């Protein structure tokens, strides 16, 4: 697959201080839904700003749609829709007028079809009813939708969404996920940054993980999650006995948390049935037994050896 975004040694150092982005080699395959994951302050937004030509890199190069950025901004950006660090609107203009403003900023957009483009973008994010209201009267969720509508004004090859579900209620989050899937089905590459692991896990085909300005890993989500092993979990009202029996059977990492006992699963899956029988035979009343699949969060913790917290 060709890469829609490719960076090599991309570095940004703000005046005196450690690099916000440090020698980043990122490769986003065409047609993917790419999750850009990392705690707040890990350099995600700085990277996105460099990709969009808003800030210049201190070192390294970035290519978007096969063209160098920021040099080719004027030819690349009409094919890119972006939502960067939340929506920014003219509060004294209506939602529709905001979109007309952003659309007229794009020299590649035909002024004769502007109204129609704006109307369909509003429709797509479900804001047609509120299009005439002043943007300052919008709720955070509506502002977020209007920002998305601006990104969707024209058919895009690449959609860059920085924390798109911020400020949305669960219903809004679901709608965004649906929208992302629809766009991806149309062949648009979606680059989605988030600090929410489950969000990435639910929609993304590929992911990259950032921490403190550095890229920790990147690849298909399935591979990343597979890197971390699942855990055997036993639910029982007799946890003490269960811990003893599991330990006797040579399991490691046995841990007890109320009525939940977890352990590293045995290498051979076939041993699981025997373990269960042993537990029952030993008088443990088993309410639940199974291996829990590793999540991206497990993968992240395994990779960074730390929690998913805000970087200092």
Partner 1 sequence: MSRAETAGPVEKAGTAESPATATPPPTPRPFGSPGLFRLAGLFRSELTLTFRRWRSLALLVVLAAVPVLIGVAVRIETSDGGGVGGGGAPDGGAGVAFVSQITSNGLFLVFAALAATLPFFLPMAVAVVAGDSVAGEASAGTLRYLLVAPAGRARLLLVKFAAVMAFCLVATLTVALSALAVGALLFPVGDVTTISGVPVPFAEGLWRAALIAAVVAGSLMGLAAIGLFVSTLTSSGIAAMATTVGLLITVQILQSVPQLDAVHPYLFTHHWMSFADLMREPLLWDGVLRNLGRQAAYAAVFGSAAWARFTTRDITS
Q: For residue 84, what are its two tokens?
A: 């960067």
- Sole binder of partner 1 in the list 10, 37, 62, 82 (CB under 8 A): 82
Q: What does the per-residue mask of binding to partner 1 show for 106-135, with x meaning CB under 8 A?
A: xxxxxxxxx---------------------
Binding mask 39-68 for partner 1 (x = CB under 8 A): ----------x--xxxxx--------xxx-
> Taking CB under 8 A as the criterion, which residues in 150-179 touch partner 1?
150, 154-155, 157-158
Structure tokens at 176: 């965004």
Told to check if 97 binds partner 1 by CB under 8 A, we report yes
Tokens at residue 140, please? Answer: 């955070």
Binds partner 1 by CB under 8 A, chosen from 89, 152, 168, 207? 89
**Residue reference for tokens 């020698």:** 23
**Alpha carbon separation from 20 to 127, 146, 192, 297, 312 (Å, rounded):** 36, 29, 19, 23, 12
Q: What backbone phi and psi angles, to 5 degrees, belong to 22? A: -125, 110
Report the alpha-carbon distance of residue 213 to residue 21 in Å, rounded.
4
* 217 binding partner 1? (CB under 8 A): no
Question: Does 271 engage in binding with partner 1 (CB under 8 A)?
Answer: no
Q: Is 294 exposed, middle or buried (0-12, 13-18, 19+ CB in 10 A)?
A: middle
Positions in the binding site for partner 1 (CB under 8 A): 1-2, 4, 30-31, 49, 52-56, 65-67, 72-80, 82, 84-86, 88-90, 92-93, 97, 100-114, 147, 150, 154-155, 157-158, 186-187, 189
């Amino acid at each position: 697959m060709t890469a829609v975004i490719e960076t090599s040694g991309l570095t940004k150092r703000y005046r005196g201080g450690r690099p916000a982005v440090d020698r980043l080699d990122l490769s986003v395959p065409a047609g993917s839904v790419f999750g850009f994951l990392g705690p707040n302050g890990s350099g995600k937004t700085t990277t996105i700003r460099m990709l969009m030509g808003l800030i210049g890199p201190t070192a390294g190069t970035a290519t978007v749609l096969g063209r160098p950025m920021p040099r080719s901004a004027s030819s690349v950006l009409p094919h890119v829709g972006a939502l960067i660090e939340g929506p920014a609107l003219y509060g004294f203009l209506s939602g529709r007028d905001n979109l007309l403003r952003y659309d007229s900023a794009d020299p590649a957009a035909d002024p004769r079809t502007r109204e129609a483009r704006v109307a369909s973008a509003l429709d797509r994010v479900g804001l047609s009813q509120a299009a005439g209201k002043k943007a300052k009267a919008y709720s955070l969720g509506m502002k977020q939708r209007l920002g998305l509508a601006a990104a969707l004004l024209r058919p895009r090859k690449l959609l860059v969404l920085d924390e798109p579900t911020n400020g949305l209620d669960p219903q809004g989050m679901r709608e965004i996920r649906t929208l992302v899937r629809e766009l991806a089905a149309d062949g648009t590459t979606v680059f989605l940054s988030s600090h929410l692991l489950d969000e990435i896990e639910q929609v993304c085909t590929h992911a990259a993980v950032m921490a403190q300005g550095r890229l920790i890993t990147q690849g298909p989500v399935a591979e990343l999650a597979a890197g971390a092993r699942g855990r055997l979990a036993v639910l029982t009202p007799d946890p003490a006995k269960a811990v003893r029996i599991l330990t006797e059977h040579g399991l490691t990492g046995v841990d007890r948390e109320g009525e939940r006992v977890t352990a590293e699963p045995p290498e051979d899956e076939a041993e699981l049935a025997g373990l269960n029988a042993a537990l029952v035979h030993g008088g443990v009343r088993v309410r639940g037994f199974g291996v829990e699949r590793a999540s991206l969060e497990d993968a992240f913790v395994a990779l960074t050896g730390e929690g998913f917290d805000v970087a200092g």
